[in-house]
């Protein structure tokens, strides 16, 4: 088995997924994992972590023949570059300017657009076609809009639910840190329950409020959700039709495939 290892480096988590290169139609990873993003970790620490995750699923480093990486954490770029070369003997494809994505970006400064947002849109177009609106629920909650010509028009960025929860804990002396989860009741009967309900339903209300405006402007767009909290929050939305937690990994697979075909002259 020949594997493609896709790595999405976010501010909170690094998400990894493996694709079987012999299954050309497989747009979802065989397996995926989330590990905490830690800027202080070394290339060796990341390499050994990746090795153990693969072995847990009966795979070895030697089975990985290709790698593709998207990152919004620049300090980890050289660390992961060293990790890929030392443990996999591979120079990965990085999602950066000059890489063929199939997405035309028509914003004021295309170079400032995060690699994860580009990859999400590519994955959504591959799965659902265009036009499409992608909501990514990670450290930040982002909205990205692609028109029927597969042109990236721009988006919105707001603090994610975990940032909101941490702000309450940090700024209000008597409020505790709480788990992000769907509450049993709308009206909380304790401080923790009240915080969980407010954070959860507040996030949904915020997302749906923005999506209501976006879908009025782009009525034909399919709305898809990605990110670590997509399963927790996305299914409660009135407007989100597809919840794909591994959408970013699928986008990485699509971009890698496109660039392989380009380099092979196909």
Q: Is 116 a catalytic residue?
A: yes
Rounded to whole angstroms, how far apart are CA atoms 15 and 35? 7
Phi-psi map region of 220: left, alpha, beta (phi>0 left; psi -120 to 50 alpha): alpha
Cis peptide bond N-terminal to 174, omega within 30 = no
Query: Out of 8, 22, 116, 246, which one is annotated catalytic?
Result: 116
The residue among 249, 185, 217, 219 whose CA lies nearest residue 28 is: 249
Paired tokens of 245: 């937690």
> Residue holding tokens 């721009």?
154
CB 6 within 8 A of CB 249: yes
CA distances from 200 to 60, 185, 231 (A): 40, 11, 12
What residues contact residue 24 under an 8 Å CB cut-off, 6+ apart?
A: none
Provide the residue count of the chain.
266
CB 80 within 8 A of CB 43: yes
Residues forming the active site: 116
């Amino acid at each position: 088995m020949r594997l493609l290892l896709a790595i999405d480096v976010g501010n909170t988590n690094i998400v990894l997924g493996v694709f079987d290169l012999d299954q050309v139609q497989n747009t979802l990873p065989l397996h995926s994992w989330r590990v905490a993003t830690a800027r202080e970790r070394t290339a060796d620490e990341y390499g050994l972590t990746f090795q153990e995750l693969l072995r847990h699923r009966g795979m070895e480093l030697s089975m990985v023949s290709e790698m593709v990486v998207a990152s919004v954490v620049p300090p980890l770029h050289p660390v992961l570059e060293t990790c890929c070369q030392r443990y996999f003997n591979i120079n990965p494809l990085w999602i950066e300017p000059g890489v063929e994505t199939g997405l035309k970006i028509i914003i004021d400064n295309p170079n400032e657009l995060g690699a994860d947002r580009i990859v999400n849109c590519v994955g959504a177009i591959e799965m659902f076609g265009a036009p499409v609106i992608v909501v990514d629920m990670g450290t930040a909650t982002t909205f990205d809009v692609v028109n029927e010509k597969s042109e990236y028009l721009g988006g919105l960025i707001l603090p994610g639910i975990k940032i909101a929860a941490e702000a309450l804990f940090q700024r209000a002396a008597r409020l505790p840190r709480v788990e992000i989860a769907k509450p049993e009741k709308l009206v909380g009967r304790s401080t923790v329950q009240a915080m969980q309900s407010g954070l959860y339903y507040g996030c949904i209300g915020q997302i749906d409020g923005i999506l209501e405006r976006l879908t009025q402007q782009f009525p034909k767009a399919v709305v898809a959700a990605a990110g670590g909290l997509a399963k927790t929050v996305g299914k409660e939305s009135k407007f989100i039709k597809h919840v794909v937690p591994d959408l970013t990994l699928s986008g990485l697979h699509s971009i890698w495939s496109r660039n392989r075909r380009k380099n092979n002259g196909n």
